[in-house]
Amino acid sequence: MNLTAMGPVSRDLIYFAEVQPRIGQGVSQADQTLLRGAIGWKISSNLSIYQGYAHVILPTKDGRDINEERSFQQVNWTIGKPWKGELSSRTRLEQRWRSDGSDMGWRLREMLRYEKALTAKSSTVNALVYAEGFIALNRTDWGQKARFDQLRSFIGTEIKLMGTSTAEIGYLNQYIDQGSGAKRMNHIAAVTLFFRH
């Protein structure tokens, strides 16, 4: 579940703020909770840049949470409108610190996203696909390794709500490279609500 609010502060100054509780095998508590916000500048109708911060809470079995702090820089770019849809890119560079170590980890994330109206007469419901690759750029004492980290792939629909707000509902596949030949794949029901003003 992802709840995101976004909009302009002034003509070119923009922001977003999001809350992401992530529920795993059991539904009694979140496996991870992410709080993230950013302030940005709208360079053009197709290009925006952001500086942001995220706080991530990772509960552990012994009851002592691991906390992760992230600073990040982000570029959003609407590339074009191929095949009567919209193709966009999100590039994010993260600096990560965790409470179970002292090193700073660098990670690069790149997302390509494509959406297209399901009918020619209305864009109330759009088909939506995206893929986001994660690359860790260095090693840390809390476990990050310098390598390809994971790939997230989504397929679903974008539904128009009131005004310009939308909901995205679909299937998210998360492929994680754990190193030493170990791989993990998560199958996720994903719901994202974007409140735009």
Element of type H or E holding 60: none
181 SS3 class: coil
pLDDT at 22: 85
If you write DSSP's letter for every residue of 74-143 in order, what string do you get?
EEEEEEE-GGGSEEEEEEEEEEEEETT--PPEEEEEEEEEEEEESSSS--SEEEEEEEEEEEE-S--TTS
Q: What's the whole-model pTM score?
A: 0.92
pLDDT at 17: 98
Low-confidence ranges of the chain (pLDDT < 70): 25-29
pLDDT at 25: 65
Q: Can you tell me the distance from the alpha carbon of 139 to that of 37, in angstroms, rounded to the nearest whole number? A: 26
Domain total of the chain:
1
- Give the range of the structural domain holding residue 117, as residue numbers without chain letter: 2-196
The CATH number assigned to the domain holding 44 equals 2.40.160.40
Q: Can you tell me the distance from the alpha carbon of 61 to that of 70, in angstroms, rounded to the nearest whole number? A: 23
